[in-house]
Structure 1
Amino acid sequence: MADDSEFLKTWTRNGHIIPEGENYQRLEYARTLEIIGEDPMTLYEGEMGDAIVKAIQDKGGLMTKQDLIDYQPVWRDPISSTYRGYKVTSVSAPASGAVLLSALGTMNEFPLKDPGSERDNHITIEALRLAYGERTALGDPAFVKDTKETEKRMLADPKAKAQFIKDETQEPEAYTNESGVSAATVAAVCADQRDLFCQPPKAVRSAAANVRLG
């Protein structure tokens, strides 16, 4: 990242990473959102689309302007769960909302009362590890069979997954693929398949239906 001029321009000041708690403005990003709000098609067919394609190709990518023009969005029903009294709603596959909700469901089985402590960090890491292991079964529902059933299974029994979390550690084998199992996933890249999105958008609502995080 030290050689990425765009990263440095966005996330550093005077040669240093912007520290936690410091206020900063992303003026180019704000203007980008304004332009899309005024004319959404510029993202696909206009100057913004040209800029996206150029940025990707400059990094060795293969996207073309026609790829953007041909893209058609697909509506998918959101998925939701609860975490300590809050309703958490996220995006279904091919996004990774089920991974987030699975991890939160497992964490919900433990009294996490000391943020930053070794124990709470250990439980959080293990919950994320278990959820991330399930992610290999997710993919574009148009290509991957039984995706909806996989998501339901991921959210179905957090108590069972919580039993896999030990107070101290795990055997080394717990962090690797089973013997003889391929590391390939159902989300392998192929023509027209929508990629598995790693960072799921989410909305958190309190019992009073107030949105707490978007």
Structure 2
Amino acid sequence: MTFTRGVTPEEVLARYGADARTARLLTRQQAAQLAGMDRPDGSVLRAGQLGDWSFCFEDYGVMGCMPGPLSALSRGTETFSVLRGGDGMNGFKCWRDGQCAEWFEPGAASTKPRPPHPWWDAVQERLDATGEEYPGLVPVLEATAHHTGVVLDTDTLDGPLLTLRLEDSDLTPDPPTRLQVPRPPAGVRLGPARPGPPLPPAIGQAGNAPTTRRTHGVRVEE
């Protein structure tokens, strides 16, 4: 599930890589028919709007946690991604203007991001308040609702939302990684230049013996 500020549901679907013109208003039950096992790899996206925020929900899919869509969704705004993994691993990501600002697995200290990490702090505060060892995603959803001022409930998810199926081949690709060329710090000496091999004697010269040539009538000693 993703939340994006200040864009329409149609624009959300487009930033995932879909053609929003093919979306239909379907209930959750109707949308399940698009997730057949005989179809190519992909996901069913369902988008809606709550206040200033648009969301996109996947019952069975992970497109909303991939760098390509998140980079596109957050362009000029901010996007939050909440993942409940089928293997029990959950995740939260915050992207701003095409860049990942925070990423962590709720409750896993090993994934604590570098400071500043306001989302980690907000979620951890709620985790500590529950006193539960495995509270799931409830603290994450509470922190997200507090920030956005909206609550996405099951009635909204079960009702009609803009729905389409997006194949993996059409998903917005990951942003290109920039090749960083290291530069020496300013003011650091690179060391003296090493002398190269001695030049061979010029034609007509014997070792270092001086030669005489004339240039426009001027006698020059070399």
- Mark yes or no: TM-score above 0.5: no
Relative to total residues, which structure has the larger helix share, 1 or 2? 1
TM-score w.r.t. length of structure 2? 0.22
Q: TM-score, normalised by structure 1?
A: 0.23
Structure with max Cα Rg: 2
